[in-house]
């Protein structure tokens, strides 16, 4: 699968399920698993704002809940953004639990022009898996 096309297509579709009545900012995430499957997630807001769950964490939690822990790439679509928006700090930490420093993360705004970053770029100087392989 070409992550720049098919994976973004899945991320855009996932964003259409966004529950974001407070921000009106839809986000979709599509996680390509090592087995070739794709698990998606979207942001789910709450009237208690701090309980909002981002699209990226929705996707990771969903994948792990399905028994998938090995991932090849992540695409994030923000169809309401004028520019490419990368994952928030909390999501960077959660994604990094399951991937290595070379893991590619692609993100794009409404124009579809994407930015590619590695996990190591998004979360530099982190222990990542130096603590040992726990997966």
Q: Which residues are catalytic?
A: 56
Question: Which CB sits closer to ligand THU, 23 or 66?
Answer: 23
**Dihedral, 127, 105, 100, 118 alpha carbons, nearest 10:** -70
Supply the minimum distance, in Å, between the C-beta of residue 43 and ligand THU: 3
Supply the minimum distance, in Å, between the C-beta of residue 21 and ligand THU: 10
Supply the minimum distance, in Å, between the C-beta of residue 132 and ligand THU: 28
- What CA–CA distance (Å, rounded) separates 53 from 97? 17
Residue 16 burial (CB count, 10 A): 11
Question: Which CB sits closer to ligand THU, 38 or 105?
Answer: 105
- Partners of 44 in beta bridges: 19, 53
- Closest listed residue to residue 73, CA positions, set 31, 110, 102: 31
Q: Which residues bind ligand THU (CB under 6 A)?
A: 20, 23, 25, 27, 43, 45, 52, 54-56, 87-88, 91
What is the torsional sign of CA 50, 54, 57, 62?
Answer: positive
Question: Which CB sits closer to ligand THU, 85 or 101?
Answer: 85
């Amino acid at each position: 699968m070409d992550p720049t096309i098919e994976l973004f297509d899945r991320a855009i579709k996932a964003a259409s399920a966004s529950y974001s009545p407070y921000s009106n900012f839809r986000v979709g995430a599509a996680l390509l698993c090592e087995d070739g499957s794709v698990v998606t997630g979207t942001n789910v807001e709450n009237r208690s704002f701090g309980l909002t769950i981002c699209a990226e964490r929705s996707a990771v939690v969903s994948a792990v809940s399905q028994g998938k822990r090995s991932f090849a790439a992540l695409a994030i679509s923000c169809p309401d953004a004028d520019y490419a928006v990368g994952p928030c700090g909390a999501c960077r930490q959660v994604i990094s639990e399951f991937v290595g420093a070379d893991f590619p993360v692609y993100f794009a705004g409404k124009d579809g022009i994407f930015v590619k970053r590695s996990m190591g770029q998004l979360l530099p100087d982190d222990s990542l898996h130096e603590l040992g392989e726990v997966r």
